[in-house]
């Protein structure tokens, strides 16, 4: 059996999809270490993996969620974390490093140690046909001109990485798209745009959905069909006004309406009808299994779980890759999209009514449900990593791709 190290950005959307894969590798007899922060330590340890804590509380991804500030934050985080990460890895001596595509300290650590590496995409995969948010472009250049301080910070940190470490395999600029000879993409080929332009190093394994701890405090017994569920995630703060808009818009249509408020205190929404349940966090897969409609911010993890359950979506993107995800949901007929500034009770109600009554949305969602489940999920991801380990044991580490690989 082998030792596998997982390096991820310590954010929900990046950590959650890897945990079922980690648990499966442990079940198969491998030793797994996971590098994360204290906020994710307990649920990571529950997989059977050994937890290695990053210094500090998490990545300094502050400021507006733009590509320029993201690149700056990722480069600074890599500089800050690599000494401790490398110290842990040299002690653990992994046979394979599995890192997030947007986790730049992963490929650097693999290069420093001469260890094979695989990349995981918790968003869609990117290439020339599907441009990454961090790819050089006129739009990125214009955004950079508006944020010179972030640009200077990025250049300073990127220079430090190049001077101190072996950075082969780390893109010069596009730090959210670090590829390796094996790239696991946590969605199906059916949902991935331009899937046929990616070579065989990209394996579309579908959503990595595993069992989550049961939440006995959630009133599942109160759910009456049709169940309508709204959540804008935990990264962007929608605020009580937007959340109240969804509650008011969905209440006339639902047997039960569930609103996940995230960082917002549910009390801030004010008095709600008895059939509207507002809670900071809800057991999302359990609710989606019974839902007829999902209002979502379009985070890839949430959209994957909705497709896995075959639920039509109203996507209200907030930033990052969410507009791209929203466009893909609409293209495939599995939902509709709405800008936050256009989210009035009347508009949300009208769109939700269409999603509930027009059969095309349900049919398209059912087709995606089949595609997501047939992709293989966490079990296939673990099998791909085992096969890659076997192959690299015979041939040695392969160089990562230096440019987007296309057929």
- Domain segments of the chain: what residues? 3-206+375-395, 220-373
**Nearest residue to 212 via CA among 149, 128, 301:** 301
Query: 357-378: per-residue pLDDT in tens?
Result: 999 999 999 999 999 999 999 9
Question: What would the two tokens of residue 370 be?
Answer: 């089949």
What are residue 31's DSSP bridge partners? 3
Q: 3-206+375-395, what's its fold?
A: Rossmann fold (3.40.50)
Q: How many CA within 13 A on the CB side of residue 210?
A: 23
* Cβ-proximal residues to 149 (8 Å cutoff; 6+ apart), any chain: none
Query: 237-291: per-residue pLDDT in tens?
Result: 567 888 999 999 999 999 999 999 988 899 999 999 999 999 998 999 999 999 9
Spatial distance between the Cα atoms of 343 and 347, rounded to a whole number of angstroms = 6
Whether domain 220-373 has CATH 3.40.50.2000: yes
Q: Which residues in 293-326 are b (16+ Cβ under 10 Å) and which e?
A: bbbbbbbbbbbbbbbbbbbbbbbbbbbbbbbbbb
Q: What is the pLDDT of residue 404?
A: 40
Average pLDDT of the residues in 131-158: 83
Q: Please compute Rg for the chain using Cα positions.
A: 21
Whether 3-206+375-395 shares its CATH topology with 220-373 is answered yes
- Cβ atoms of residues 10 and 58 within 8 Å: yes
H-helix or E-strand containing 239?
A: helix 239-250
Q: How many CA within 13 A on the CB side of residue 46?
A: 12
Can you list the positions of beta strands (E) in 261-368? 276-279, 291-296, 313-315, 335-337
Average pLDDT, the chain: 90
Spatial distance between the Cα atoms of 125 and 143, rounded to a whole number of angstroms = 23
* Cβ-proximal residues to 212 (8 Å cutoff; 6+ apart), any chain: 283, 285
CB neighbours of residue 31 within 10 Å? 17
Long-range contacts of 54-57 (CB under 8 A, 24+ apart): 54/10, 54/81, 54/84, 54/85, 55/80, 55/81, 55/84, 56/80
Query: 184-208: per-residue pLDDT in tens?
Result: 999 999 999 999 999 999 999 999 9
Query: 159-186: per-residue pLDDT in tens?
Result: 999 999 999 889 988 999 999 999 999 9
């Amino acid at each position: 059996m082998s030792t596998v190290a997982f390096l991820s950005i310590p954010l929900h959307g990046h950590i959650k999809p890897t945990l079922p894969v980690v648990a499966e590798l442990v079940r198969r007899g491998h030793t797994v270490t996971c590098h994360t922060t204290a906020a994710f330590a307990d649920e990571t340890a529950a997989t059977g993996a050994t937890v290695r804590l990053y210094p500090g509380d998490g990545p300094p991804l502050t400021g507006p969620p733009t590509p320029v500030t993201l690149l700056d934050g990722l480069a600074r985080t890599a500089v800050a974390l690599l000494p401790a990460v490398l110290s842990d890895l040299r002690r653990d001596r992994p046979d394979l490093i599995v890192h997030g595509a947007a986790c730049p300290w992963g490929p650097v650590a693999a290069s420093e140690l001469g260890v094979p590496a695989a990349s995981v995409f918790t968003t869609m995969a990117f290439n020339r046909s599907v441009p990454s948010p961090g790819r050089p472009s006129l739009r990125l250049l214009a955004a950079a001109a508006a944020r010179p301080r972030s640009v200077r910070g990025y250049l300073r940190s990127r220079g430090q990485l190049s001077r101190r470490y072996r950075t082969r395999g780390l893109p010069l600029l596009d730090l959210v798209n670090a590829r390796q000879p094996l790239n696991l993409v946590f969605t199906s080929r059916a949902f991935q745009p331009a899937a046929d332009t990616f070579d065989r190093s990209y394996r579309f394994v579908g959503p990595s959905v595993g069992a989550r701890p049961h939440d006995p405090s959630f009133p599942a017994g109160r759910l009456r069909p049709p169940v309508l569920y709204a959540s804008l995630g935990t990264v962007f703060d929608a605020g009580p006004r937007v959340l109240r808009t969804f509650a008011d818009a969905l209440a006339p249509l639902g047997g039960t309406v569930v609103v996940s408020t995230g960082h917002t205190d549910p009390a801030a929404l004010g008095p709600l009808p008895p059939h509207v349940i507002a809670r900071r966090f809800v057991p999302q897969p359990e609710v989606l299994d019974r839902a007829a409609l999902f209002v979502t911010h379009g985070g890839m993890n949430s959209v994957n779980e909705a497709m896995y359950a075959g639920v039509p979506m109203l996507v209200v993107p907030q930033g990052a890759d969410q507009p791209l995800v929203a466009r893909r949901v609409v293209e495939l007929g599995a939902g509709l999209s709405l800008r936050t500034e256009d989210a009035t009770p009347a508009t949300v109600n009208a769109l939700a009514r269409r999603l509930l009554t027009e059969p095309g949305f349900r049919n398209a969602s059912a087709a995606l449900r089949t595609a997501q489940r047939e992709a293989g999920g966490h079990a296939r991801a673990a099998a791909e990593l085992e096969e890659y380990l076997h192959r690299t044991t015979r041939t040695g580490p392969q160089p990562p791709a230096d440019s987007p690989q296309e057929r």
